[in-house]
Structure formats: C-alpha cells, structure tokens
C-alpha cells in the first residue's frame, strides 16, 4: 500500500520523536540498543500518542513492550513507530513482533532493520504475515546514526569509536607539563559530559592519565550516575594507585589495558584496588588496538569515546579505527609549548563527511563521520 505525502510527513515527524525518545537510555542498555517506540492513534481529530516506550536500563524489557502496556486497548487499530525492527526471537522476553500482532495495531512504521541473525527481517515478516501494514526505512539514516554503536558491534564485532578533541585556536590539544589546560568553555564541557553519558566507554592513554589526572566521569546535574566505564591504555601499568581514576573505581569501573607481560606485582596492586585488567598484545610498545576493541565489544561495549592524547588519537586514526570525529574548536591560544593536534581542523580526513556543525558559546563544534 502506498503512503500519501501527508502521511509520509507525519511518519517522519513521529519517527523523529521516537528517535529522540530512544536517546533517553542511550549508554544504559548495552549490549542491547536503546530503541524508542510510539503508539499513535488517529480517530479523526489528528494523530495522538497513546503509548511511549524506550528499552529499559540493562536492555529489557524492550521498548515495544513498554509502549504497548501503556497503550492497552488503545493500541487496537493504531500505528506503532519503532526505531529498530521489532525482535522475532524468544530471548529473555517474548518477541516484540508477536506482541505487536497481539495488540491489534494496524500499521508498523520502522526505521532501521535489525542485523541480529535472530531477527534480520523476520520481525517485519511476522507483522506482514499477520496482515499488518509495514513501512520500513523511515528516517533510516538518522536511525543508523543513533544506533551506530549497536550496528558496529553486531556487524564488525567492535564498538563504534568517536574521537573527541578540543583544539586551541593555534591547533594544540594541551600543553606538556601543565596538567589540564582549559581550551573550551563551560557549554562545550557540558556537551562533552553529555556525550560521555551516552557512551559505553571512555578511553585515554597513560600519558594523558599521568599528565591530567582526570576522573573521566559525568558531572552534569542529574546525570551523575551515567558515567561510562573508563579504559586506560597502559602497556607497562604505570597508572598510580593514588590517581583519581583509581580512587574513583568504587563508583565507576576502570579497566587498564596492559601488556600480557607487565609486572605481576603492579597487576596485583591494581586489582586489589578493584581495577580490572585487560591483557593485550603489544607491538613496538603499542597496544594492539583491533584486538583490544574486540575485547571491549565482548565486554558489552557498543560505543567508545577516545578522549586523548595526541599519540592515542594518531594511532586510532592511522589504523582506520575512528568512525566519528568530534572537534571542539576553542578561542584560547596555547602557544609554542603546546602539544600539536594529530589533525588539522580545516582539513577533513579523506573518507569522512561533515555531519554537524554547532556552536557552544564562543566555541565551535564540528562532527565528521566516516562515510559508508
């Protein structure tokens, strides 16, 4: 059945709302994606939302179950907007496709297809077989962006990697020997914390850990409990037991990725503090990143933010392991003692496309995403 241009517009509007809703639990549902569902009725007075759902913290119940429970009998004859194809498998919860059929919805509008082999088209097929009208692919690109971590982990067995950097007006990312240098303002800092809240992990190198002694937590009012797992690349396990990263381990998990041959006494000391070790291969003093990413994916991480420093950023870029680059361009000048950024803000790396540009007070924000 073909959809009228007016209906297509309505579909895009509600799918955009479902995608916004799905952000609520982004970073808290792994290994499940955070999905949004709206149940919308139109009884002649214009469309009305009668049920909303988002994948629950921890991944279950799924979004559809929540939205259908809220809609109750009002779901009969309604349209369901789902940001991901409804599941078709009996997992820890019954299949959402069957719950949609049982609810009596007349139409399902989906954004992304689910690559999970237990679903992979079968969710939509169950709906169609039951006589439900299905429209797929509405706001597919936006959904792919929103679900990028889940899709990357499902298809490539690694988390989606966002490289985030703050660059001074003279192209520096900090200054050696001076600890943390404020390059951007408060509004940009808050955006970074929001990005952290939506990620599953934040990664830095030992150089940054020693230089800045960061906490790498989310410190936004109301989102303090949304800090993702922290990971330090530290092949020789030099991270001090007195660092803020180690001190905060009771509240937010900390992983140290270290050489399999690193000192076992240091290892025991870190583990006693509650730090978790990931043994990695090291080639020429560098941790083997593809293997590490695979390990992080098997620990359940779908999205990873790489926050510093220059050497780590360069390694991820050189190995083609960056999917998204977020640059905050500050107005501060750092000067000659500064550490040069591993890339030029005026030159987008080949293979990337600009997807967003924003402003946070005096600071510019640019987002580049790997094409394809």
Binding site for ligand AOF (CB under 6 A): 32-33, 35, 55, 59-60, 62-64, 84, 86-87, 91-93, 96, 114, 116, 119
Q: Is 216 in the site for Zn ion (CB under 5 A)?
A: no
Q: Which two tokens stand for residue 82?
A: 């789902």
Give the C-alpha separation, 197 to 134, whole Å. Answer: 34
Q: Which is nearer to ligand AOF, 27 or 33 (CB)?
A: 33
Nearest to 81 by CA among 26, 31, 150, 139: 139
Interface segment toward Zn ion; rule CB under 5 A; list 55-63, 169-177, 198-206, 357-365: 55-63
> Tokens representing 189?
């800092």
Nearest approach, Cβ of 1 to ligand AOF (angstroms)? 23
Residue 283 partner contact from Zn ion, ligand AOF, none using kind-dependent CB cut-offs of 5 to 8 Å: none
226 part of the interface to Zn ion, by CB under 5 A: no
Cβ within 8 Å of residue 296, ≥6 positions away: 158, 159, 201, 231, 278, 304
Cβ–Cβ < 8 Å for 357, 364: yes
User: Is 87 one of the binding residues for Zn ion (CB under 5 A)?
Assistant: yes
Nearer to Zn ion, 64 or 200 (CB): 64
Residues in contact with 2: Cβ distance below 8 Å, sequence separation at least 6, in sequence order: none
Regarding 62 and contact with Zn ion (CB under 5 A), the answer is yes
Residue 301 touches which of ligand AOF, Zn ion, none (Cβ within 5-8 Å per kind)? none
Q: Is 96 in the site for Zn ion (CB under 5 A)?
A: yes
- Closest to ligand AOF by CB, 53 or 228: 53
- Would residue 291 show up in a list of annotated catalytic residues for this protein? no
Compare residues 5 and 117 and give the one whose CB is closer to ligand AOF: 117
What's the first-to-final CA gap in the chain, in angstroms? Answer: 30
How many residues sit close enough to Zn ion to count as binding (CB under 5 A)? 3
C-beta of 92 vs 272, nearer to ligand AOF = 92
Q: Which residues contact 257 (CB under 8 A, 6 or more apart)?
A: 231, 232, 233, 234, 235, 277, 278, 280, 287, 292
Give the active site residue among 9, 64, 136, 294: 64
Bridge partner residues of 118 (DSSP): none
Tell me how far, at minimum, the Cβ of 148 lies from ligand AOF, in Å. 15
* Upper half-sphere CA count for residue 93 (Cβ side, 13 Å): 19
**How many other CB atoms sit within 10 Å of the CB of residue 78?**
25
Q: Which stretch binds Zn ion (CB under 5 A): 3-11, 60-68, 176-184, 291-299?
A: 60-68
CB of 62 to Zn ion, least distance (A): 3
Rg for the chain, CA atoms, rounded: 23
Which sequence positions are flagged as catalytic? Answer: 64
Point out which residues bind Zn ion (CB under 5 A): 62, 87, 96
């Amino acid at each position: 059945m073909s959809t009228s241009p007016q209906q297509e517009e309505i579909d895009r509007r509600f799918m955009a709302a479902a995608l916004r809703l799905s952000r609520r639990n982004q970073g808290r549902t792994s290994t499940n994606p955070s999905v949004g569902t709206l149940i919308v009725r139109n009884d002649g007075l214009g469309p009305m939302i009668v049920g909303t759902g988002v994948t629950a913290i921890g991944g279950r119940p799924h979004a559809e179950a929540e939205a259908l429970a809220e809609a109750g009998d009002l779901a009969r004859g309604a349209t369901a907007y789902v940001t991901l194809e409804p599941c078709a498998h009996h997992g820890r919860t019954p299949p959402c496709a069957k719950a949609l059929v049982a609810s009596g919805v007349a139409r399902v509008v989906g954004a992304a297809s689910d690559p999970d082999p237990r679903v992979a088209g079968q969710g939509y097929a169950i709906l169609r077989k039951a006589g439900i009208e299905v429209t797929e692919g509405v706001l597919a690109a936006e959904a792919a962006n929103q679900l990028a971590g889940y899709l990357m982990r499902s298809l490539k067995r690694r988390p989606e990697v966002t490289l985030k950097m703050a660059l001074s007006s003279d192209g520096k990312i900090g200054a050696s020997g001076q600890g943390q240098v404020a390059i951007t303002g408060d509004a940009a800092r808050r955006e970074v914390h929001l990005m952290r809240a939506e990620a599953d992990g934040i990664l830095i190198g030992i150089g940054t850990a020693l230089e800045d002694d960061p906490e790498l937590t989310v410190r936004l009012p109301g989102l303090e409990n949304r800090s993702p797992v922290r990971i330090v690349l530290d092949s020789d396990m030099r991270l001090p037991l007195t660092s803020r990263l180690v001190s905060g381990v009771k509240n937010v998990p900390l992983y140290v990725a270290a050489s399999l041959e690193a000192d076992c006494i240091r290892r025991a000391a870190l583990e006693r503090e509650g730090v978790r070790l990931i043994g990695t291969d090291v080639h020429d003093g560098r941790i083997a990143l593809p293997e590490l990413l695979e390990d992080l994916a098997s620990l359940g991480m779908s999205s990873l933010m790489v926050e510093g420093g220059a050497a780590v950023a360069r390694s991820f870029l050189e190995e083609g392991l960056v999917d998204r680059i977020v640059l905050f361009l500050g107005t501060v000048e750092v000067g000659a003692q500064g550490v040069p950024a591993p890339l030029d803000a005026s030159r987008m790396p080949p293979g990337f496309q600009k997807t967003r540009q924003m402003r946070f007070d005096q600071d510019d924000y640019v987002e580049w995403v790997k094409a394809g």
